[in-house]
Structure 1
Amino acid sequence: MHVQVDRLSVRYPRRERAAVDSVTFGLRTGDIGVLIGPSGCGKTTLLRAIAGLERASEGEIRISSQRVAGGGVHVPPERRRVGMVFQDYALFPHLDVARNVAFGIPGATRAQRDARVAEVLALVGLADTQGAMPHELSGGQQQRVALARALAPRPQLLLLDEPFSNLDVDLRERLAHEIRGILKAAGATALFVTHDQLEAFAIGDEIGVMHEGRLHQWDDAYTLYHRPATRFVADFIGHGVFARATLKQVGNQVVVHTALGPLADGAECPLPSAFAGGQCEVLLRADDIVHDDDAPVKAEILRKAFRGSEFLYTLRLATGEVVLAHVPSHHDHKVGEWIGIRAQVDHVVTFQREASPAAAPIASFPV
């Protein structure tokens, strides 16, 4: 692993809970990792600890097999060969683009600096802006200059702390794709902090979901969405509900019974004996619910959100349970209408049943 974090904790005096609590993960050379979670979950503190700006209370950090924190070792930030890109870009307003980028290349001749500046500005698509001042550039261009400056000294690890938070929403996802392409072209290993799931999915090879200082899951986006390891991850990622279910053994199969009828066989489910009376909850994503006029199960439309190619419907079954469904936008039904729905679940994910009498919607993406 290019970066290995083992049982890392960061504690502050007079704070009962650790800011980072026994976190372990690895990042391969050339991969882009993303840390995501709600405000105050510890993701920026973890990033700062890897940079050397925070001291580890427990555990260790290795970069390129070198221990930089832990076991009595604390390598200072300037000796870790780590580049950082911040929320506010931190460009020098009185220096043009070329001199901003050159500032990050110490100990080189003028010719070497000029060649490297031209190289990284071409990499980020700004080869013709060397003489421009930062205020003459758009927000997206300023962000790419900041990235060029961080890449210029060839760091062994690049850290990015919410680099798109000051940009328009429409620009963020596009720029995330662009930055991913730039980092891959540079062969850079990077760790990125964001609170935006679309950014995380657009840029990350591996994504870590944090909550209250703990890393709940470190996986690719597909696995986080379809096979969440904890209830928090299931709740935080995407649209869906936790619906009541009963597991029953039928021959060699486990059948999952819900208010929508039996789901596809629960080959990935635990045995019914894992829950008292086989009673549990299953995660039903909005894309697990299909609008079907001929389906025997009907649901009332409580709310609808237009999202261009589709609606996000919030639906209430006759049992009172609520589910969400993505429906093509040409199926434009009115609030209060009853429509036919069926479940089409490829990944059955079960959780311990909670006390709530009915499923409650979870909606982490903006609607």
Structure 2
Amino acid sequence: MTGLVAAASAVVLVLGACGGDDGDETPAPGGGTTAAASEIKVGLAYDIGGRGDKSFNDSAAEGLDKASDEFGVEATELEAAEGETDAQKEERLRQLADAGNNPIIAVGFAYATALAAVAPEYPDVSFAIIDDATLVDEPNVASLTFAEEQGSFLVGAIAAQASKTNNIGFVGGVETPLIHKFQAGYEAGAKAVKPDIQIQVTYLTQPPDFTGFNDPAKGQTAAAGMYDSGADVVYHAAGGSGGGVFTAAKAGGKLAIGVDADQYLGAAPDVQPVILTSMLKEVDVAVYDMIKSSVDGKPLTGAKVYDLEAGGVGFSTSNSIVAPFTATAEDYEKKIISGEIVVPTEVGG
């Protein structure tokens, strides 16, 4: 057993109902044939935190579970370890490929360097990467990205409406160009509602330290500092660290905004009341689409962007306290889709 396997979380086999006898071939849409779905093996390489983070990785897992149930594919899941190198990520991807998984989905931009090295070694394997568009020229890689800035604009507009102190906050897990998109959209949405609103910003770690996506204690400390400095709504784009933001909001009697999944639904009952809304990033849809394309015999390649128009981002309404603010957000949504509003992707843009 390699050190990588020992460091990874348990490999999980997900088996759904088989769609036909082994060895059968079924027509692929548009012509051609593909192996029975029950013969397809899917490899999923999680980012730090893995299944159970109640955010980014769990959204990917939801898409995998749906595809497993619907198509009967077999899946192998491996989790990243904190502080690992690109070489270790490469080993994880090769392990999945050598085990016969096809497609293989890398969950998170942190896999970009590793996948750039591994994809050419396995030209007959279809790969996908979430949140990275640097590999669009690789013939066997699908780059599945999101318009995070658009969804963040909407929750920024909600935060500004909900704020009674004219002071809100943003907690980023790791300061990268991707998380800057969340911040840029959030700030633009808030200022569209209240041009003079104060926005506090904190990043938990700097690259190459990616533990900021899985450190609830740091998230709690950062958010508590913002609340103490006058903020009454804090939005996090920090993965598993967001749990700490919710804890701080509850302790301070303030509000928080989740990310990626509808975090109200997965939160403990005592924390749910402080989760005003969540910026929905439908990673589950991207994962499902990649698997379905392989089942159909036409694996995705190139770039695919999940934006507001495609239903790839949005905001949740599970907590009824958000109701007074949704009409304004929905109006902005229409203007973004029509092109009347172009949301910046860079801070200060």
Q: Which interval holds the TM-score relative to the shorter structure?
A: under 0.3
Relative contact order (alpha carbons < 8 A, sep ≥ 6): 1 or 2 greater? 2
The structure where helix makes up a greater share of residues is 2
TM-score, length basis structure 2: 0.24
The structure where strand makes up a greater share of residues is 1
Q: Flag the structure with larger Rg.
A: 1
TM-score, length basis structure 1: 0.23
